[in-house]
Structure 1
């Protein structure tokens, strides 16, 4: 009953507040047709990322984990003329699907997909830093490493968002044997401890179930 209600509420607010145009709908459909995991952000979450980038006035965005490019489109559309988004993806099928979706959305001029393991690609981004917003949505066991690099590639005033941190509530279990849970726990602990970050976490429910994100401001 709860999931049915969450989905209905998402549909209500999404219908009023979120405009998912043909390019976004096609990106979601293309990901499904390519057999990609249905892990892309929900439309209202994509709009939230778009608004965060616009509120921040972001000109440079780093996305760790492209999947089919759905969130990439939302983020790239927040950029002003001359803005740049770099997105990292290890899976060639995901990267190919994302490239086609980004081209269909007319965003090739501001989005660069870099292919390979993020931990290998991140050191090569120092020449493009600082980034105004970093969206972390890849393999959760590596989240602590991604946070380290996010801090190295940002500046005071930058925003770091880590997605899928609640794990259906499993994040509260310190004894969990799931490496994804342990990855987000360590990530959150590092955020809490870091003197350069001011952060909060929000739980989310909706059409994609029960999860949440951590959002941090780089303060120094």
Structure 2
């Protein structure tokens, strides 16, 4: 077979695989549709002229399910954006549960706070603005402990956020990290920017740390999940 033919077939297979993945995601999105509350969050993000980087609808439902199934009472979110994931996390909390959300951008934090209040979760959440590393250090000094962590912020600091999560975790806590494929960049050996290297390090640590039992969901942009072992 000629080289040009081989390349052409390879490119064709990649396109076919891409179509299959997209069709799978479209199918999932059709099954697990957003309710009016979550659609309104996306609409408000668009109206504000912001690029929507909220979690996919099915992943939002997964966050609710994981918080609910684990019985988490203290949830820490690193990266609030417009409040979409915050609503999903709060929906999984039972009576007395609390969400602590860290957000660099004060405007984003204000919008997320407003959306959570409108969704009926007033009094169940606290926002801390500024550098997440500073807020995490403060939480450590305060002796705070958490049952669930959702990491969805600046990718270059993912390894640092994981280290703090391990220090702040109650035994049996769950840790979820979003965007672990970086739109395919973490899979591409020719991509080696700081964020790509940091996310690769995060993924490898989640997969190999003996303190964790972990897995990865390869749908959408990749979600890594881990449970902090109790011993």
TM-score (norm 1): 0.89
Look up the match of 1:69: 83
Look up the match of 1:115: 129
The 5-angstrom pairing of residues 25-174 of structure 1 reads 25-126=39-140, 127=142, 129-174=144-189
Give the Cα separation in 2 of the matches to 1:56 and 1:8. Answer: 28
Higher relative contact order (CA 8 A, sep 6+): 1
What residue ranges of structure 2 are gaps of 5+ in the alignment? 1-18
**Bigger Cα displacement from structure 2, 162-171 vs 112-121:** 162-171
- How far does residue 100 in structure 1 lie from its aligned partner after superposition? 1.4
- How far does residue 25 in structure 1 lie from its aligned partner after superposition? 1.7
Change (3 A) 1:193 1:14: closer
Q: Point out the structure with the larger helix share.
A: 2
> Is this contact kept in 1: 2:25–2:219, CA < 8 A?
no
Change (3 A) 1:177 1:199: same
What is the DSSP-based 3-state SS (H/G/I as helix, E as strand, rest coil) of the residue aligned with 1:155?
Answer: strand
Look up the match of 1:208: none
> Is this contact kept in 2: 1:132–1:155, CA < 8 A?
yes
- How far does residue 151 in structure 1 lie from its aligned partner after superposition? 0.3
Give the Cα separation in 2 of the matches to 1:142 and 1:4. Answer: 29
What is the DSSP-based 3-state SS (H/G/I as helix, E as strand, rest coil) of the residue aligned with 1:36?
Answer: coil
1:140-188 per-residue CA deviation (whole Å, 9 max, x = no partner) reads 1100000000001102210000000012322123452332211110111
> Is this contact kept in 2: 1:36–1:94, CA < 8 A?
no
What residue ranges of structure 1 are gaps of 5+ in the alignment? 206-210
User: Stretches of 4+ moved more than 3 A in 1?
Assistant: 1-4
1:50-74 per-residue CA deviation (whole Å, 9 max, x = no partner) reads 0001110011100000000100001
Look up the match of 2:29: 11
**In the alignment, structure 1 residue 191 sits paired with structure 2 residue 226:** no
Give the Cα separation in 2 of the matches to 1:21 and 1:199. Answer: 30
**In the alignment, structure 1 residue 214 sits paired with structure 2 residue 224:** yes
TM-score (norm 2): 0.85
**Bigger Cα displacement from structure 2, 28-37 vs 6-15:** 6-15
What is the DSSP-based 3-state SS (H/G/I as helix, E as strand, rest coil) of the residue aligned with 1:157?
Answer: strand
What is the DSSP-based 3-state SS (H/G/I as helix, E as strand, rest coil) of the residue aligned with 2:169?
Answer: coil
Q: Which has the larger radius of gyration?
A: 2
Give the Cα separation in 2 of the matches to 1:170 and 1:91. Answer: 26
RMSD: 1.7
- How far does residue 26 in structure 1 lie from its aligned partner after superposition? 1.4
- How far does residue 129 in structure 1 lie from its aligned partner after superposition? 2.5
**Bigger Cα displacement from structure 2, 149-158 vs 33-42:** 33-42
Give the Cα separation in 2 of the matches to 1:34 and 1:83. Answer: 30
